[in-house]
Amino acid sequence: MYDPLLYLGFFVIYTILILIFGRHGFDRSENIKDYFIARRSLGLWTSISTFCATWFSAISMLGFTGLIYSNGYSSMLFTTVVWFLGAGIMVLAIDRLYDYGAVTVPEFFRIRYESTTIQVISGFVIFISFIVYLVFQIQGFGLVIGKLLNIPYTVGLFLVFLFIIYTTFGGLYSVARTDVLNFVLIMIGTVVAAVLVLDAIGGIRIMHAMVSKRFFLTNEHQQTSPFSPLPEGGWSIVSFISSFFAMTLGISANPQYVIRIFSAKNKKTAYQMISISIILISIAYVALAIVGVGGKLLVPVGSVPHHDEIFPFMMNEFITSPLKGLILISIVAATVSTANSQLLILASSVVYDIYQSFRKNKVSDRALLFHTRWLIVVIATLALLIALTPLQDLIRYTGHVWGMIAATFFFPLFGGLYFPEVHRRNAIFSIIGGFVTYIISLILIPEDFSRYVHPAVPSVIISGILFFIKVRR
């Protein structure tokens, strides 16, 4: 079948399913807490689905495949390993964090440090970081869908805009329900992609045998081993430490995952959610890694201008099975699931953390829900307008968002849980200090050098010093 028609067919089926699944939460939210954390009622498999689906985005799927294509399996040490370490650190927070009964991370700060100021400041930090993050997601979707369906970039943006507005309308109930669908599609899509690539090459043994004979770092024109954790001319241990500061600490304090702890029905569910999710996510990453390495054999060097595009390029050029429609939908599902979670976090930071803190009179639940839904439309429209100018090399920019979260939230969050003597002033200084240092580092550290010293490194250190400095005195 003609490819765009095949993709269009799958896309229409996905749209119908999203419309049905997204309807789930419309009736369920009675108040703003229901809307943002689903009344702390999410069961194990729903929590796992929403955690995993939020974890995968189009940017991470394409970016990860591109990295494996460029550097071989060694990229996994600097991506999946540091990401999973972040999830591991998050486990340390569950027991204490859950007891606070907060709805948002800034609200946890307010309760822990008894300060509305810190809630407002952290609400602003989330807004600034996540609006950028959301724009990247929308742009990633526009680029992929534009290439695969051969439609204008703007139309692609508008499609994701419609999806995320609709799925966010019902709050976390709707987001979680559509995430069940999205997660199933992501898993099927990635595994199908790996199977089709292996089928095109002749099996995993042949692939590894072939790739070990001729694997070049595309930038260096230098042969290396795709299996070496630290290949010559590739990544180094310094880069690993740098990634740890930006990615590991960024993920562990990322509100988009922390909120999944809040929404789990109990602590046990939260623990199981993270543990089982890591196993399932690993399967998807292995599948994507196979696609990346397979790309090295199937795609001639120089066929794509950016390595992020290797996955869609392979789908168009080397995979003939109609099942590739599922792969496209898995990328769409990854974008929708991440973007709607981010939109929800953005809305919670504005309505719950900033707007409510400034209002003297209590607003009724009905009015607050109404305002939140309208705000979601406004924020999504704003992100859509910003996204109209496309950016390349998206995964690099998302790294900065995580770095920013690490620099501002890591110490106030984990330090707040484990060091009861730390005062609110330290937490405020830590957030502001981390934020300012990150911006300065971003400007001052040259782009080539940032691979070794990510802006997150100095900013997390400064944030930590500011957090503890008074205690030491």
Partner 1 sequence: MMKKRRTIERKIMISFLIVVLIPCLAVGVSAYWTGYKTYKDERFNEAENRLNNVVTYIKLVEQHYLQGELAEEDAKSLAKKWVLQSDSAILIEDPHVYEKTHESIAPWWVSFLDKQNGKYKRNEETNEMKEQWVVIYHIKKWDWVIVIPFSFSYLSQPLIDIQKNTLLVMILAAIIAVELTIILSHQLSRPLKNLAAFCQQLGKGDVRVKTETEFPLSRKDEIGVLAHAIQEMLDNLEEKKQLEKKMERIERLASMGQMASGIAHEIRNPLAGIKTTTQVISSRLKLDERNLALFQGITSEIDRVDRIITNLMNLSRPREPNARLISAYDVVDQILILLEKENKDKPITFQNRISKEATFYIDLDHFKQIIINLTLNAINAMDVGGTVDFSSCNEGGIFIRDEGRGISIEDIKKIYDPFYTTSSSGSGLGLTMVHQLVLQNKGEIEIHSEEGMGTIFRLYFPTKEGE
Rule CB under 8 A: which residues touch partner 1? Answer: 2, 4-5, 8, 11-12, 15, 19, 23, 26-27, 30, 149-151, 155, 158-159, 162, 165-166, 169, 364-366
Q: SS3 of 264, please?
A: strand
Residues ≥6 apart with Cβ < 8 Å to 189:
326, 327, 328, 329, 330, 331, 333
Between 291 and 368, whose beta carbon lies closer to partner 1? Answer: 368
- The minimum distance between CB 2 and partner 1, in angstroms, equals 5
Residue 11 vs 36, nearer CB to partner 1: 11
In angstroms, give the least distance from the CB of 173 to partner 1.
13
CA distance 288 to 190: 6
For partner 1, the closer CB: 15 or 239: 15
Q: Which is nearer to partner 1, 364 or 389 (CB)?
A: 364
| Residue pair 38/201 in contact by the 8 Å Cβ criterion | no
Number of neighbouring beta carbons within 10 Å of residue 324: 23
CA angle 74, 79, 85 (to 5 degrees): 115
Q: What is the rounded CA–CA span in Å between residue 245 and residue 239?
A: 10
Q: Which residue has the tokens 């071989």?
A: 72
DSSP states of 293-324: HHHHHHSPTTSSSSGGGHHHHHHHHT--STTH
Q: Which is nearer to partner 1, 344 or 401 (CB)?
A: 344
Tokens of 172: 């976390």
CB of 39 to partner 1, least distance (A): 13
Residues 6+ apart with CB under 8 A from 209: none
The minimum distance between CB 370 and partner 1, in angstroms, equals: 10
- Residue 93: which residues within 8 A CB-CB, separation 6 or more? 252, 258, 261, 413, 414, 417
The Cα 466–Cα 456 span in angstroms is: 15
Q: Residue 136 or 163: which CB sits closer to partner 1?
A: 163
Q: Which residue type does 52 have?
A: C
CA atoms of 197 and 452, how far apart (whole Å)? 33
Residue 333 CB, shortest distance to partner 1, in Å, is 16
Q: Is the dihedral of CA 266, 271, 277, 280 positive or negative?
A: negative
- Closest approach of partner 1 to the CB of residue 7, in Å: 11
Alpha-carbon gap, residue 248 to 217, rounded angstroms:
26
User: Minimum CB separation from partner 1 for residue 336, in Å?
Assistant: 13
Of the two residues 30 and 317, which places its CB atom closer to partner 1 in the complex? 30
Instruction: Using the minimum distance from each CB to partner 1, give the nearer residue, 343 or 405.
Output: 343
Nearest to 84 by CA among 285, 231, 289: 285
CB of 354 to partner 1, least distance (A): 24
Closer to partner 1 by Cβ: residue 205 or 366: 366
* Closest approach of partner 1 to the CB of residue 237, in Å: 49
How far apart are CB 5 and partner 1 at their closest, in Å?
A: 6
Which tokens in the block code for residue 423?
């005062």
Amino acid at 203: G
Residue 448, helix vs strand vs coil: coil
Kindly state the smallest distance separating residue 165's Cβ from partner 1, in Å.
Answer: 8
Torsion angles phi and psi, residue 223, rounded to 5 = -75, 140
- Measured from the CB atom, the residue of 150 and 303 that comes closer to partner 1 is 150
> Which residue in 85, 294, 76, 334 sits closest to 201, CA to CA?
294
> Which are the contacts of 14, defined by CB distance < 8 A and separation ≥ 6?
185, 329, 332, 333
Encoded tokens for 181: 């669908």
**Shortest distance, CB of residue 334 to partner 1, whole angstroms?**
19
Give the nearer residue to partner 1 in terms of CB position, either 26 or 449.
Answer: 26
Distance spanning both ends of the chain, measured CA to CA: 72
Nearer to partner 1, 165 or 284 (CB): 165
